[in-house]
Structure 1
Amino acid sequence: MPADPAAVIDVSLARPGVAYSRNLFGHFIEHFHRQVYGGLYDPGSPLSNERGFREDVIEAMRELRPSVVRWPGGCFVSSYHWRDGVGHPRRPHYDKAWRVTDPNTFGTHEFVAWCEAIGAAPYICTNAGTGTAEEMSDWVEYCNLAQGSHWSALRTDNGHPAPFAVPFWSIGNENYGDWEMGAKTPQEWANLVRESAKMMRRVDESIVLLTAARADLEWTLPLLLAAGRYLNMVSIHGYWDSLADVNQPSAYLTAISRSLDPQREIQHTIDIIGAAALTGQVGIAFDEWNLRGWHHPWGNSDAAVRARDANDDNTTYTMADALFSASFLNACLRRGDVVKMANIAPSINARGPLFVHPEGIVRRSTFHVMAMYANQLGERVLETHAAASDLEAASVPVIDSLATIDSTNTRVTLSLINREPNSAVPCEVRIAGHPVDGSHQATILDGPGADTYNDIDRPSTITPRRSKLDFRSGHVALPPHSLTICDIDLPLHHTEGDIDAGRILSGDWQLSTTGWHKTS
Structure 2
Amino acid sequence: MTAVASVDVSLDAPPTTYAREVFGHFVEHFHRQVYGGIFSPGSPLSDEQGFRADVVEALRELAPPVVRWPGGCFVSSYHWLDGVGPDRRPHYDLAWRVTDPNTFGTAEFVAWCRAIGAEPYVCTNAGTGTAKEMSDWVEYCNLPAGSGRWADLRAEHGSPDPFDVRFWSIGNENYGDWEMGAKTPAEWASLVRESAKMIRHVDEDVSLLTAARADLGWTLPLLTAAGSNLDLISIHGYWDVLNLVEAPSDYLTAVGRSLGPQSDIERTRDILGAAGLAERVGIAFDEWNLRGWHHPDGDRPELIAARDLNDVNSTYTMADALFSASFLNACLRHGDVVKMANIAPTVNTRGPLYVHPTGLVRRTTFHVLAMYAHLLGGRVLASTALADGLTGADVPVIDHLATVDEAGTRLSLVLVNRDPTAAVACDVRLGGHVLDGAYDATVLDGPSADAYNDVDHPGTVVPRPVTVGVHAGRTSLPPHSLTVVHVDLPLAHGAGEVGLRPTDGAAWHATPRGWYRTPSSH
Bin for the TM-score computed over the shorter chain: over 0.9
**Per-residue deviation at 1:385?**
1.8
CA distance in 2, matches of 1:69, 1:23: 9
Contact persistence 1:14–1:504 (CA under 8 A): no
Whether 2:92 is the aligned partner of 1:94: answer yes
AA aligned to 1:382 is L
Structure 1 counterpart of 2:378, which letter?
E
SS in 1 for 2:38: coil
Partner of 2:427: 428
1:20-66 deviation digits (Å, cap 9, x = unpaired) = 00000000000000000000000010000000000000000000000
Deviation sequence 1:313-339 (CA, Å, 0-9, x none)? 000000000000000000000000000
Give the structure 1 partner of residue 136 of structure 2: 138
SS at match of 2:242: coil
TM-aligned CA deviation for residue 88 of structure 1: 1.2
Write the distance in 2 (CA, Å) between the matches of 1:401 and 1:487: 14
Partner SS, residue 298 of structure 2: coil
* Deviation (angstroms), 1:245: 0.1
Q: Partner amino acid for 2:140?
A: Y
Counterpart-to-counterpart distance in 2, 1:385 and 1:344: 26
For 1:456 and 1:390, locate their aligned partners in 2 and report how far apart those are by CA, in whole Å.
Answer: 36
Q: CA deviation at 1:446?
A: 0.2
User: Is 1:165–2:164 an aligned residue pair?
Assistant: yes
- Deviation string 1:259-301 (CA, Å, 9 cap, x unpaired) is 0010000000000000001111110000000000000001111
Q: Which residue in 1 is equivalent to 2:412?
A: 413
Aligned counterpart, 1:189: 188
1:476-495 equivalences in 2 (<5 Å): 476-491=475-490
Alpha-carbon separation, structure 2, partners of 1:189 and 1:5: 49
Match of 2:4 among 6, 16, 19: 6
Q: Per-residue deviation at 1:15? A: 2.1
Tell me how far apart the structure 2 counterparts of residues 54 and 126 of structure 1 sit (CA, whole Å). Answer: 25
Shift of 1:147: 2.3
The code of the aligned residue for 2:149 comes to H
Task: Look up the SS of the partner of 1:386 in the other structure.
Answer: strand
1:509 paired residue number: none
How many residue pairs are counted as aligned between the two chains? 498
- Distance in 2, matches of 1:504 and 1:351, equals 49
Q: Distance in 1 between matches of 2:14 and 2:468?
A: 25
Displacement, 1:395?
A: 1.2
Cα deviations by residue, 1:48-107 (Å, 9 ceiling, x for unpaired): 000000000000000000000000000000000000000011100000100000000000
C-alpha distance 143-255 of structure 1, shift in aligned 2 (>3 A): same
The superposition leaves residues 120-142 of structure 1 with CA deviations (integer Å, 9 ceiling, x where unpaired) of: 00000000000000000000000
Contact 2:12–2:500 under 8 Å retained in 1: no
**Partners in 2 of 1:487 and 1:354 — Cα distance?**
27
In structure 2, the residue matched to 1:517 is: none
Q: State the AA in 2 paired with 1:80.
A: Y
**TM-score scaled by length of structure 2:** 0.94
| Superposition deviation, residue 461 in structure 1 | 0.2
User: Could you say which residue in structure 2 is the equivalent of 1:268?
Assistant: 267
Moved over 6 A (4+): none
TM-superposed deviation, 1:4: 8.8
- CA distance in structure 1 between the aligned counterparts of 2:193 and 2:460, rounded to whole angstroms: 50
Pairing partner for 1:75 from 73, 76, 79: 73
Aligned to 1:459: 458
- For residue 484 of structure 1, give the secondary structure of its aligned residue in structure 2: strand
**Any idea what SS the aligned residue of 1:349 has?**
coil
Q: Which residue of 1 aligns with 2:205?
A: 206
Could you tell me how far 1:302 is from its partner in structure 2?
Answer: 0.5
Match of 2:308 in 1: 309
In 2, the alpha carbon distance for the partners of 1:298 and 1:442 equals 46
Give the CA deviation at 1:412: 0.7
1:49 aligns with 2:47: yes
Match of 1:400 in 2: 399
SS of 2:239 mapped into structure 1: strand
- Counterpart residue identity of residue 8, structure 2: D
Residue 335 of structure 2: aligned partner: 336
Q: CA deviation at 1:16?
A: 3.0
The Cα of 1:490 is off from its aligned counterpart by 1.3
Distance in 2 of aligned mates of 1:361 and 1:16: 42
The answer on whether the counterparts of 1:236 and 1:284 sit within 8 Å (CA) in structure 2 is yes
Partner Cα distance (2:59, 2:75) in 1: 23
Cross-structure match for 1:279: 278
Q: Which amino acid aligns with 2:201?
A: R
CA distance in 2, matches of 1:502, 1:254: 40
What SS does the corresponding residue of 1:214 show, helix, strand or coil? coil
Q: Aligned partners of 2:458, 2:219: CA distance in 1, in Å?
A: 43
Q: Using a 3 Å threshold, how does the CA distance of structure 1 residues 5 and 257 change in structure 2: closer, same or farther?
A: closer
1:380 maps to which residue?
A: 379
The reply to whether residue 30 of structure 1 matches residue 28 of structure 2 is: yes
Contact 2:363 2:452 in 1 (8 A): yes
Structure 2 CA distance, aligned partners of 1:295 and 1:169?
27
Partners of 2:159 and 2:48 in 1: CA distance: 18
2:258 is the alignment partner of 1:227: no
Cα offset, 1:5, TM superposition? 6.2
| Shift, 1:17, TM fit | 0.3
Give the conservation status (yes or no) of the 8 Å contact 2:172–2:211.
Answer: yes
Is the Cα contact below 8 Å between 1:5 and 1:428 reproduced in 2? no
Contact 2:12 2:499 (C-alpha < 8 Å) held by counterparts: no
Instruction: Tell me the SS of whatever aligns to 2:414.
Output: strand
Letter in 1 for 2:22: L
Quote the Cα distance in structure 2 between the aligned partners of 1:73 and 1:375.
28
- Give the one of 31, 37, 40 matched to 1:39: 37
Aligned mates of 2:436, 2:362 — CA distance in 1: 34
Contact 1:31–1:72, Cα closer than 8 Å, also in 2 = yes
Say yes or no: does 1:290 pair with 2:272.
no
Q: Given residue 10 of structure 1, which amino acid in structure 2 is its aligned partner?
A: D
Displacement of 1:386 in angstroms is 1.1
Cα distance in 1, alignment partners of residues 499 and 135 from structure 2: 53
Amino acid at match of 2:31: H
- 2:23–2:340 CA contact under 8 A, matched in 1: yes
Mapped to 1, the partners of 2:305 and 2:13 lie a distance apart of 54
C-alpha displacement of 1:393: 1.2
Q: Is the 8 A contact 1:5 1:475 kept in 2?
A: no
The SS at the match of 1:14 is: coil
Normalised by the size of structure 1, how large is the TM-score? 0.94
The whole-number CA distance in structure 2 between the counterparts of 1:39 and 1:385 is: 41
Question: What fraction of aligned residue pairs are identical, expressed as a percent?
Answer: 67
C-alpha separation between the residues in 2 aligned to 1:412 and 1:397? 23
Deviations along 1:161-199, one digit per CA (max 9) or x if unpaired, are: 000000000000000000000000000000000000000
Q: Structure 2: any 5+ residue segments left out of the alignment?
A: 492-497, 504-513, 516-522
Amino acid at match of 2:267: H
